[in-house]
Structure 1
């Protein structure tokens, strides 16, 4: 246990999530209470224009902390803020809709216990369970992006973009201090930086349920992510 006594920090970046946030937080908090270990759940409100912060703050007495950005900066910026504010020996990053059920952390923890500093949930492995699929065009765009990432970004990872990732707290905070990408490609940079530091990475198949109420424009976000990855590669030119 670390000096703060917090075993697990759960980081939830959120932007305009007033409708989806409460059910996910309730389920997560019920599960975390059953684990009987000290935890904190950090909701990072990324400059939402709705009542996201108010919804999150309504759970404040149950171990939830809310950190707010004054303006919308991007998911990567929210993840970085959450990681740097975290105090747990382990840090879990989860999407606000909990499309991967929080119970799936147990699959990832096995690798952390074996000394792997970063474990990423994946929708692209044989044992991944997709219980509700995305529309076909979204799946095709996601596969195309992951192929491009393997060429230009990080090799050997089938799914960089699943929003469910677990790290040892110290290593997660070290990586966060170096994160530059503020948009949706933050996952790629996180993996890149972990490899540059020599950290082992495990990719683990998880359960994933598509949320039909997705806020992401797949065309716009794909171009933006690819641009960010190219910028990252240019910034680290000559490194592997």
Structure 2
């Protein structure tokens, strides 16, 4: 394995004591098997359940793992941005700690970027035959409805905007994530909206995916918040937030909103 990583795998984690250990074991096994020159960055989002201790113990025995601590519980969007703007790879990806999409599927994202895409996004809906465990019907309906609203409001031509399995070329990630403003669940459509506005190419890739019953997403509370955030994204676009020049900026993580 080379001294400098060419792949960075970012895993946001909030109270993931039950899942983070097995997840890191799977990620490490995959990296070893495929001989990926990779680093793994776990972003601890103010966990209170010992998640950080588990990560530290595993990292002490595996030099490719490091942990970044958020100043408090700042949200998934903030956590992913924090990891991305501290990553050193040429290709940067993030995945959920539940590994609903097996980490081996990341090779499909990497291949799309090596083939010329600036961004590759995993999709649960392009090939439903790849779903190993389906969501309950009400979750499927909510997800599809939210995606339809997102496509309409944001003009995003993707079958699945919310899958937590996305990869970026490093320079593209540094630009997109410096412009990101949504810090919780609704950050995925914002990333894609910014990328399209900046002229980046995005390839949607079908991935194997299995629903995890322990998902913390509240489809009523968080769904309403995400709809509010879609309006916020359109406002940011109208006021030029996403058009500013970031080429002269060094990667930095904004202070979380109070």
Q: Normalization by structure 1: what TM-score? A: 0.94
2:45 is the alignment partner of 1:58: no
Q: For the residues of structure 1 that align with 2:98 and 2:57, how far apart are their CA atoms?
A: 17
Q: For the residues of structure 2 that align with 1:51 and 1:207, how far apart are their CA atoms?
A: 30
Q: Which runs of 4+ in 1 moved over 4 A?
A: none
2:40 corresponds to which residue? 41
Question: How far off its partner does 1:33 sit?
Answer: 1.4
1:219 corresponds to which residue? 220
Within a 5 Å distance, the mapping from 1:1-240 to structure 2 comes to 5-60=4-59, 61-62=61-62, 63-126=64-127, 129-237=130-238
Greater Cα shift, 194-203 or 104-113: 104-113
Q: For the residues of structure 1 that align with 2:165 and 2:111, how far apart are their CA atoms?
A: 15
Per-residue Cα deviation, 1:95-147 (whole angstroms, up to 9, x for no partner): 01111001111212221111111000001113661111111111111111000
CA contact (8 A) 1:154 1:188 kept: no
Alignment RMSD, CA only? 1.7
Q: For the residues of structure 1 that align with 2:50 and 2:210, how far apart are their CA atoms?
A: 25
Per-residue Cα deviation, 1:137-191 (whole angstroms, up to 9, x for no partner): 1111111100000111242111000000011122112211111000111111111
Structure 2 residue ranges without an equivalent (≥5): 243-258
Structure 1 residue ranges without an equivalent (≥5): none
Question: How far off its partner does 1:36 sit?
Answer: 2.0
Q: For the residues of structure 1 that align with 2:81 and 2:156, how far apart are their CA atoms?
A: 23
Question: How far off its partner does 1:238 sit?
Answer: 8.2
Greater Cα shift, 28-37 or 7-16: 28-37
Q: For the residues of structure 1 that align with 2:125 and 2:36, how far apart are their CA atoms?
A: 31
Q: For the residues of structure 1 that align with 2:7 and 2:206, how far apart are their CA atoms?
A: 21
Alignment size in residue pairs: 238
Q: Normalization by structure 2: what TM-score? A: 0.88
CA contact (8 A) 2:156 2:193 kept: no
Q: For the residues of structure 1 that align with 2:227 and 2:45, how far apart are their CA atoms?
A: 22
Greater Cα shift, 60-69 or 73-82: 60-69
Q: For the residues of structure 2 that align with 1:106 and 1:127, how far apart are their CA atoms?
A: 19
Q: For the residues of structure 2 that align with 1:128 and 1:117, how far apart are their CA atoms?
A: 26
